Chains A and B, each alone.
Chain A
Amino acid sequence: MRRNGGLGFIYLSLLVALLLTVMPMPQQVKLFRPDWALLVVLYWTMALPGRVNILTAFLLGFLTDVLIGTVLGVNALAFSVVTFIVAVNHLKIRNFSVIQQALLIGLFLALYHLLLFWLSHFLTGVYFLPAYLWPVLTGMLVWPWLFWLLRRYRRQFKIQ
């Protein structure tokens, strides 16, 4: 029972992230919407790599695909790859300061968007616009707050 404690809370946070991903917003704000689902799954991978890793990321990516209507599997693959990198290096990343982490997260987000663009370009022939990269910046800016919030959340409910 101790081992299973808090799994529900993890899924709850992932669900909230998915809701934020599809929440209707004005068009000008939408362009800057951070990739909530990816950010939250990266936090859990870093904090509890034994509980949340590639399988969760894959499922969450798949749900994101279904919700936002990209070709099925595109987000699933990009989520899995980025989560893999974080899962392998979670001990190193944990030791960085929050600012350093935010920079790294920016790098991961850039990789995620690159993968997403490549796959979509290959599958549906999308064109690249520099505006697609705004979520990288907003994701970096959001990370310290998200990290703080989720750590409090994790400690509050003693998720481990």
Chain B
Amino acid sequence: MNAIFSRGPLLGLRLLLAVLCSVGLMVVDRYTERSTQLRSFLTSAVSPLFYVASLPETLLSGATEQFMSHQRLLDENARLKETMLRQNGQLQLLGYLQQENSKLRALLGSAPLTDGQRLVAEVLAVYSHPFSHQVVLNKGKNDGVTVHQPIIDESGVVGQIVSVGPTSSRALLISDNTHAISVRAERTGIRTVAEGLGQWDLLRVIHLPQSADIRVGDRLLTSGLDGLFPEGYPVAEVSRVQQDESQPFMTVYAKPYAQLDRIRHVLLLWPGSRLEDVLDAEEPN
């Protein structure tokens, strides 16, 4: 017990040291370029924890599948087959349209849209601290994942990779309040920026002048202008428009298409080295 009392004044010193270290860390993480490397290293160091933490859930869902009745499996199988048939039908049309589109683009002399490689990744952990909307994916450097790579799910854009470990990586969601994405309204073609607010089902569309033509229900697609997200993927639907003449800009909110709070599987995109493709296309002329 005596040891504790003799430590009394030392505690203050320890606190001072801890505070200084923390402030140093914050400055390094927030204001320097090295933080991405540091984060990537730390992500790989703690990735076993994520695997262990998601173990109960994996076991549970495995058990559910095991005990699922035969009839339900058959039903699900039939439903999936039907969906696949329908989507394959649409894909045939898409192939034709893509071909036509690239011909037209070639005629106009504009850059062809590249269809990059993609990879399915599973979500290991969705960390939902209100101050950081991130997910940990089970693909890493070994699978060719790189920082700033866009990720989508079946309904829309999900986010982008911010740090990569050997077997896992961490992605920032579009709803995080440090994230912003360049978008274009599908109906009118207005370009704008949608930023996260730290809420799962809400994005704020910023810098729209009062005269901008935007309505509730407008689809917002990626514009490709940020150089990260390939053009044309659905991001969000405008859910609320408030016009207040005393304000310089309209207040517009949108709801992301991707169900950010319950994502299980995502697609990693390699948008393709579009610039090189353009150069290649131009060289023969």
Contact = CB atoms under 8 A, between A and B. Distances in A.
Given A73-B22, A88-B11, 6 more contacts: A18-B49, A53-B14, A55-B14, A69-B134, A84-B14, A124-B178
Contacts, number: 134
Contacts of B68: none
Contacts of B19: 77, 80-81
Interface in B26-57: 26, 28-30, 35, 38-39, 42-43, 45-46, 49-50, 52-54, 56-57
A144 interface: no
A151 interface: no
* Interface secondary structure of A, over-half rule: helix
Interface stretch (A58-66, A95-103, A104-112): A58-66
A88 B11 CA distance: 8
Contacts of B49: 18-19, 22, 67
B84 interface: no
B166 to A, nearest CB: 16
Contact of A81 (B7, B15, B50): B15
B129 interface: yes
Q: Name the residue in B50, B198, B199 with the highest tally of chain A Cβ atoms < 10 Å from its Cβ.
A: B198
Interface string B181-224: 00000000000000001111000000000000000000000000
A70 B50 contact: no
B177 interface: yes
A66 B46 contact: yes
Q: Name the residue in A19, A54, A57, A127 with the highest tally of chain B Cβ atoms < 10 Å from its Cβ.
A: A54
A24 B57 contact: yes
B199 to A, nearest CB: 8
Which 3 A-B pairs rank lowest in CB-CB distance, beginning with the nearest?
A: A73-B25, A77-B22, A80-B18
A73 B11 contact: no
B128 interface: yes
A49 B15 CA distance: 14
Given A50-B7, A72-B28, A124-B177, A67 B46 contact: yes
A22 B22 contact: no
A69 B52 contact: no
A72 B36 CA distance: 11
A126 B129 contact: no
B26 A71 contact: yes
B125 A24 contact: yes
A120 B131 contact: yes
B22 A76 contact: yes
A133 to B, nearest CB: 10
A9 to B, nearest CB: 18
Interface string A17-52: 011001110010011000000000000000001100
B262 interface: yes
A26 B54 CA distance: 13
